[in-house]
Amino acid sequence: MEKVSRRTLMMALLAGGGALVGSSRRASAFTADAPSARILAMHENACGATASHKELVAEVDSILGDKYTAAEKRQIVAGLTCPICGCPLAGLF
């Protein structure tokens, strides 16, 4: 087996990487889609954390206290997700 110098190896790797980058295109095998109501309901049933989600919302409500109106609290909760499962907490306030 013929020895390859470090410089030759690095140049070959750089050329190969450049060829890959130059020929890259947008991947179209996967597309994100908004989940349907049925899928959301299945996820909610599978999660099983509805009670803990309500506890999280109650905790956020107690932390916010009287500093915010109900509409502002609803808006804040709408942007939160469960730290355990990632389910949105919107609609629970």
Are 43 and 73 within 8 A, CB to CB?
A: no
Helix (H, G, I), strand (E, B) or coil at 44: helix
pLDDT at 36: 84
CA distance 85 to 9: 46
User: What is the CA 12 to chain-centroid distance, rounded?
Assistant: 37
Q: What's the average model confidence in pLDDT over 1-26?
A: 73
pLDDT tens, position by position, 29-85: 777 778 788 877 776 666 656 777 888 888 989 998 889 898 998 898 889 888 877
Question: In degrees rounded to 5, what are phi and psi of residue 81?
Answer: -130, 155
What is this structure's pTM? 0.47
Higher pLDDT, 32 or 12: 12
